[in-house]
Every structure is written in C-alpha cells, then in structure tokens.
C-alpha cells in the first residue's frame, strides 16, 4: 500500500527512540531519572477531580456533547478577567480544543492555503511545524538567539517575508527555551503583526510557571492584540490535567468561527465530564497554582545550579517547566549525547534537534521530578564522567 506523502513531511519520532532505550534499561533494572516529557507529576486539585467524578456519575453526560457548554464559555471569560485583568473576552471569542497540541495541529487546515508563509520560532515545539505543514504552509523560521535572551526579535524578519506571512506563532513562556516575554516584547510583536496584517497566534501554556518574581501575561493585556491575535490557553500545566486534554482558542471571532467549522467535521465536542472539570478549575482557587510555581522554581534551582556546580554551564530557565541546556564541552550531536547520558547516568532528556533547525547543540530537561530526585540525577551525571 502506498501511504500519504504527508507522512514524508515529518521526521523520525525521537520520543519513541528515547522510550525504547528507557524500556531496555528498565529491563536491566537500571536506575533512571526521566526528565524528558513535560507531564507534571503534581496531582490535580481535589475539587477538579470531584467535579469530573460527579458529572461522570450521570449517564446523560456520556452522550455526544456537540458543543461547548455555555457555562464553560462563561467560565473562560470570567477567568480571563480574574487572572489576567482582560474584560474583552466574550463567548463568541472562545472555543475548546482537546489540548493545545490538537488545536495548533489543526490550525493550518482551517487557515492556510497551499504555499502560504507561516512565521515560526526556532527552536519551537514540534507541533508548530506539523500544523503548518499539514495545512500546506511554508515555514519561515525566525531564530530565538541566545544574544536576544531566546526572545522573538521581529526586526530581523525581512519585510518581503512579513508581507507574505499568513500567521505568526509566538510561544511565551517558551517551550523549549524557557524565555519569558515582557510587555515591551509583546507590544513589538503586536505592532509588527498589525503593520503587516499577520494573524498572531500566541501559545500561552505556561503563563503560571514563571520564575524570579516575574508575572505571566495574556497577549490580550497588550493594546491592539484584540484586533490581530488569538491565544491558545491550556489548563494542562497550571492544573495538572494533561491527560484530560483541556485547552481553549481565545480571541478574534472570525478565526474562532473558522476553527469551529473545521472541528465540527472531525469530532463531536469535549466529553461533558471533562467540561465540568474545566469549569471547576477555572472557577476554583488559584493559590495552589502559585504554590506549585514556587516548587517548579526550586526544581529549576536544583537542576541548573546543580549542573553548574559540576562544571556544566547551564543558564537558569526564566519560565515554563523546561530547562534549555547547551551541550557540555566535547559533544556535538544532541541525540548522541542523550543516548550516552541515559546509558551512563540514567538521566533522560530530549535532544535539541527535535525542536527545529536551531535546536542542535542543546538538550531540553523537564522539571518533572521532586528536588531530591533532581539532586540524585545531578549526582549521577557527575559520577558518569561525561562533564569534562
């Protein structure tokens, strides 16, 4: 059978190769420290779990939902007011997706025509590339350079590219590089997209995981964004509900309507008990979210500070649940380094080469183990003899 040529758009599945190595070493009873996949190890809050269980007990809630519940859309609007101080979000500016990965992966199908230019950060989360290519888009990578703090620098995007661009994806706080935007950076991006009539797509999955006293924002805190932007807002990392796949597309009603039209062709809506859990999260207390952020910062300090103490110069992440580490001296290939690190230290991280053309030369760590386990992982790296 001849399969779709679309599959040729995608490279090998690196996480699968890492998992195969992990399984093989587990079979040998090797001690492993998995810092690769960004799945929080914290538990969902009890009131969120209870809301889902209560809703699941009602057999009526096991039917097709067919739509987002009005109370869910109202809860998103109220949350934007409470959390971000944004009072311009109305129900026609909101729709759910089964996770931001699903939303961004399908975005190109709703918005792009064959050959449209899409501005993507480099390095970036892989689905940014996937979603653009599935829609027939041609990526133009704007680099996130160390000298600019791994932040978007729109002044470097050529005018002839900007004039052709259909949409621009921005991810702040950024996966994988851990950079955090300022109001000034956001304003530059909004002004740039407005000037060139580019749709700004802001991936806002990590607004509640920001370190050193900085504040997480919505793109809609920025003047002019309501006219040029949409935002993917996720509950996964803030509320530890990654498996429930709860996110929302928020912003320009014409873009939301286009994505709704596409979605009606491929699914029947979010499971109602999951919608009820989302309402509980959006309307519940936020103090535990702040406490969790403080714990992520302690983990960041343990990992980055610990690796620096053994001679690996890893800069502090400023936000997200990830650390972006340059390869230690003596190593050139990120995949080869990751495989050797698993073999010799039992520490699993992700090669930078899986995050776009500029990712090579780095690895990504996820802050998904408690401090004492991270300290053990650092000790294992030191004992491996790989840091010279």
The residue whose two tokens read 């090669």 is: 351
Please give the Cα distance from 45 to 81 (Å, whole number). 22
Ordered DSSP codes for 195-214: HTT-EEEEEETTTT-B-TT-
- pLDDT at position 265: 92
Structural domains in the chain, CATH included, are: 5-43+287-384 (3.90.1150.10), 46-283 (3.40.640.10)
- Which has the closest alpha carbon to 152: 116, 133, 128? 128
- pLDDT at position 10: 76
- pLDDT at position 9: 78
Please give the Cα distance from 256 to 110 (Å, whole number). 10
- pLDDT at position 13: 66
Mean pLDDT in consecutive groups of 10 residues from the start of the chain, 388 residues = 85 72 79 90 97 98 96 98 97 96 95 97 94 95 93 96 98 96 96 98 96 94 97 96 97 97 93 98 97 98 98 97 96 92 94 92 97 98 93
- pLDDT at position 12: 64
- pLDDT at position 212: 95
- pLDDT at position 288: 96
Please give the Cα distance from 381 to 300 (Å, whole number). 16
Please give the Cα distance from 165 to 141 (Å, whole number). 11
Please give the Cα distance from 311 to 31 (Å, whole number). 23
Please give the Cα distance from 220 to 187 (Å, whole number). 10
Before 173, cis peptide (omega within 30)? yes
Strands lying side by side in the sheet with 94-97: 94-97, 247-251, 229-234, 199-204, 165-171, 117-122, 138-143
- pLDDT at position 194: 98
Collapsed DSSP state (helix, strand, coil) of residue 45: coil
| Residue 182 to residues 154, 188, 218, 221, 232, Cα–Cα distance (Å) | 14, 10, 11, 11, 18
For the entire predicted model, the pTM comes to 0.94
Please give the Cα distance from 105 to 249 (Å, whole number). 13
- 125 phi and psi, to 5 degrees? -65, 130
């Amino acid at each position: 059978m001849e399969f779709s040529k679309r599959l040729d758009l995608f490279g090998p599945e690196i996480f699968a190769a890492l998992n195969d190595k992990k399984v093989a070493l587990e079979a040998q009873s090797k001690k492993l420290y998995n810092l690769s996949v960004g799945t929080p190890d914290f538990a969902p809050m009890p009131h969120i779990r209870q809301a889902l269980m209560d809703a699941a007990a009602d057999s009526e809630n096991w039917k097709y939902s067919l739509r987002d519940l009005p109370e869910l859309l109202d809860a998103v609007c109220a949350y934007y007011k409470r959390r971000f101080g944004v009072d311009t979000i109305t129900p026609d500016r909101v729709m759910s997706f089964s996770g931001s990965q699903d939303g961004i992966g399908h975005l190109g199908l709703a918005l792009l025509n064959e050959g449209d230019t899409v501005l993507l950060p480099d390095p970036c989360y892989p689905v940014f590339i996937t979603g653009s290519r599935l829609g027939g888009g041609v990526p133009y990578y704007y680099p996130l350079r160390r000298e600019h703090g791994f932040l978007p620098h729109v002044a470097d995007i050529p005018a002839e590219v900007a004039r052709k661009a259909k949409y621009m994806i921005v991810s702040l706080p950024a996966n994988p590089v851990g950079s955090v935007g300022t109001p000034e950076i956001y304003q530059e991006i909004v002004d740039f997209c407005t000037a060139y009539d580019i749709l700004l797509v802001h991936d806002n999955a990590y607004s509640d995981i920001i370190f050193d006293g900085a504040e997480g924002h919505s793109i809609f805190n920025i003047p002019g964004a309501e006219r040029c932007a949409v935002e993917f807002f996720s509950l996964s990392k803030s509320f530890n509900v990654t498996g429930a796949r709860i996110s929302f597309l928020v912003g320009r009603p014409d873009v939301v309507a286009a994505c709704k039209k596409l979605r009606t062709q491929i699914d029947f809506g979010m499971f109602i008990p999951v919608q009820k859990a989302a309402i509980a999260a959006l309307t519940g207390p936020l103090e535990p979210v702040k406490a969790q952020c403080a714990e992520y910062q302690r983990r960041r300090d343990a990992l980055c500070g610990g690796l620096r103490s053994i001679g690996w110069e890893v800069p502090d992440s400023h936000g997200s649940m990830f650390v972006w580490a340059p390869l230690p001296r003596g190593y050139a290939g990120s995949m080869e380094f990751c495989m050797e690190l698993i073999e010799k230290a039992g520490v699993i991280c992700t090669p930078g080469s899986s995050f776009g053309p500029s990712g090579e030369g780095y690895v990504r760590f996820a802050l998904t183990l408690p401090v004492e386990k991270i300290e053990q992982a650092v000790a294992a790296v030191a004992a491996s003899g790989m840091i010279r």
